[in-house]
Every structure is written in structure tokens, then in C-alpha cells.
Amino acid sequence: MTLTSSIPVLRVSDYPRAKAFWTDVLGFSIAEEGGDPARFGIFKRDAAVVFVDAWHGADPEPSPGWRAYFHVQDVDALAASLTTDVEGPTDKPYGMRELEVSDPDGNRLCFGQDID
């Protein structure tokens, strides 16, 4: 048996607001939505996939750590393309160059590139 991938599932309080963040701010496309009106979405950008779930509401207290980590080829180009507050990019002692953003519900997202 081989695991082939994993997908983060982010809980949000307002699906239309989250949808706008993932598509307009982060440049993901909508692969699929569920509900009428939509309360769940699968968002894709290149090989990255994330599930956004408003059926269960946002987590009562956002985690101080990351909710999702995305590997990217050019973190500086991504940073330049984003229209939201970005922390970084910064080089980390563990060999990654990373930037962080928060979605409207406080979910911390990290985008990283191997320095080597």
C-alpha cells in the first residue's frame, strides 16, 4: 500500500468570503463545490489542493500554527503576486524559504521553497 497525497481541510465561518480569498487573493480555481448554496469547495492551483468547509463552521479558536503547508517553486514570485498581508519570504535554518498568510478566519497558511 502506498499513500499518494494528502489534502488539508480548512474550516471557515463564511464560505463566499473564503471562496473569494482562495480564488481572488491566492489564485486557486474551483474544482468542485457542494451544497445549495455552496458551503464546501475543493480549490486547486497547479498540483496543490485544499478543501474549504463551512458546513461545520470555523474552528472556535484558530491555531497559532500552520493549518496547511504548500511547497512552491518560486516563493518570491508568489509573494509578489499576492494581494494580502504577507509575512516573509524569509530563509529558515531548516533549508526552506517561506512566507505566511492568514485567511479571513485566521487559518495560517505557509508557502515554502527548498533553498538548496
Position 63 scores a pLDDT of 74
Position 103 scores a pLDDT of 93
Question: What is the extent of the structural domain holding 46?
Answer: 9-114
CA 56 and chain centroid, separation: 18
* Least reliable range by pLDDT among 39-43, 55-59, 96-100, 111-115: 55-59
CATH number reported for the structural domain that contains residue 38 in this entry: 3.10.180.10
Kindly state whether residue 4 falls inside one of the protein's structural domains: no
Kindly state whether residue 1 falls inside one of the protein's structural domains: no
Cell of 43: 480549490
In the chain, the number of structural domains is: 1
Kindly state whether residue 30 falls inside one of the protein's structural domains: yes
pTM for this structure? 0.88
